[in-house]
Amino acid sequence: MTKGFYNLTSGILSQTRRLDVIGNNMTNLSTAGYKAETYTDRTFQEVLISRVGNKDKSGAAVIGTESYILAPDQLYVDQTQGAMRETGMPLDFAIQGDGFFAIQTDNGVEYTRDGAFSLDGQGRLCLAGHGLVLGPDGAPITLTQDQQIRADGAGRIYDASTGGYMGQVGVFTFADNGQLAKGTSGLFLANGQQAQAADAPTVMWKCTEESNVDMLKEMTQMLTAQRALQGGAQVLKLYDSLLTKATTEVGRL
């Protein structure tokens, strides 16, 4: 009976975690460049075997007992491109195809698809709340507050009046986007990979990439997780009642 109690509890915790991820996706529906996440779980035994192998300390094979206790497995990020939205804002940029913008944050260089940029007090192109936008050479891009600009399809920025070159928004690629790690800020970390400046990036000016969250899919998954959570809670109450009777009534016999 206690085994079922632990199995149910782990299932409830897993569904709660899944609901947290779904809620975060739905909250970021309107966040430019946001990539939807998917939470997966497996039994504790499957996770343990996948990480350390089904062997004991001596290297001998171990035949373990079957376990249905759930444990977190992976948090997958859907890197598919979101729809392009024309904003008309001169500091907005969107990447068409593969690549990420590089942002110099307090914790180092991080990466994003969010191109809703602005200028800081020194006239440097930045992503509000995160840090400075970097060019292909890894240096910040300095403009001026009152300067009119235009940009081409590679992200090169020019003075609209004189045509003078002012800098280029960097687009960086990785060997495997699936290996990128999402940091606490919501931006991506290279996670040991080497970022490479794209040779021929396609950048759309006065546009941003919309979130790739599918609201219908998230709503369906949320309802499924809620039903599983409610069902598990009800059965858990039954287990609790049976355990109470076992310790109070059966114990007197």
Mean pLDDT of residues grouped by 10 in the chain (253 residues)?
A: 64 84 93 90 60 52 53 80 95 96 96 96 94 96 86 95 93 95 91 94 97 94 86 73 70 55
Given this model, what pLDDT does residue 244 score?
74
215-248 vs 2-27: helix axis angle to the nearest 10?
A: 160
Tell me what pLDDT residue 60 has. 45
Given this model, what pLDDT does residue 195 score?
96
CA-based nearest residue to 210, from 115, 126, 117: 115
Query: What does the pLDDT read at residue 227?
Result: 87
* pTM given for the model: 0.78
From the DSSP assignment, how many helices (H) and strands (E) are in the chain?
3, 18
**Long-range pairs for 150-155: beta carbons < 8 A, 24 or more residues apart:** 150/205, 151/93, 151/203, 151/205, 152/205, 153/202, 153/203, 153/204, 153/205, 154/200, 154/201, 154/202, 154/203, 155/93, 155/201, 155/203, 155/205
